[in-house]
Amino acid sequence: MRDRFAQMTRRQKLQYIFDYYKLQIALILTAVFLVGYGSFRLITRPNVLVSVGLLNTTLGSSSKSMLTDGYLNTLTERGTRDKVKLTGPLFISGDPGSDAYEYAYASSLKLQAEITDRSLDVVLLDKNSLAVLEDNEYLMKLPASIRSSSDLYAVSLEGTSFSQQAKADGTMYAGIIANTKNKEQAVRYIRYLLS
């Protein structure tokens, strides 16, 4: 057999190897692909520093840039893959008779999923959604260093540079989700918004 293999041309040798070892070759190539793809995804995956939900709040692109890039630019130590994740705008309503109740219901489900998954840290919201989140105990009590005496769960952004640039309708509030994994980063983010 060895002599016969030695007498074959290069093309015949390749055909012989492929005919007898195609399953093993396919398995090896699949394993190499999966390891390479998994490594690539692991290396290039963004590092979400803080996740921000917009509830009953719509913002322009410049305001969103201030929420993401503006915050990242204030950090002294920052990696190239660090990012701020924005979720929303979500419409939260406690009124089942409202015209947009289906949208509010879908938004509520998305909000609950993000809270349950612990992938939401900070929320920017209006007075109505603040009441809904307080009633459901989704917000944690803010540290004394960033809250006023009357605001236990959210701090008003009225008069801040962000609020002036955002030009939001009514007063906008910022709160921290009770089960956040990134409490220190969330507090730092709200301090940034208050500056």
3-state secondary structure of 107: helix
Residue whose entry in the numeric block shows the structure tokens 């289906």: 102
For domain 46-194, which CATH number applies: 3.40.50.360, 3.30.70.1710, 3.40.190.10, 3.30.360.10?
A: 3.40.190.10
| pLDDT digits 0-9 by tens, 11-51 | 888 888 888 888 898 999 999 999 999 999 888 888 888 99
Question: What's the pTM?
Answer: 0.75
Measure the N-to-C terminal CA separation of the chain; round to a whole number of Å. Answer: 81
CA distance 170 to 25: 64
pLDDT higher than 80, residue 98: no
Joined together, the tokens standing for residue 112 give 């609950």
CA distance 37 to 52: 29
Please, what is the average pLDDT of the chain? Answer: 84
Residue 141 DSSP class: P
Give the residue extent of every domain in the chain. 2-43, 46-194
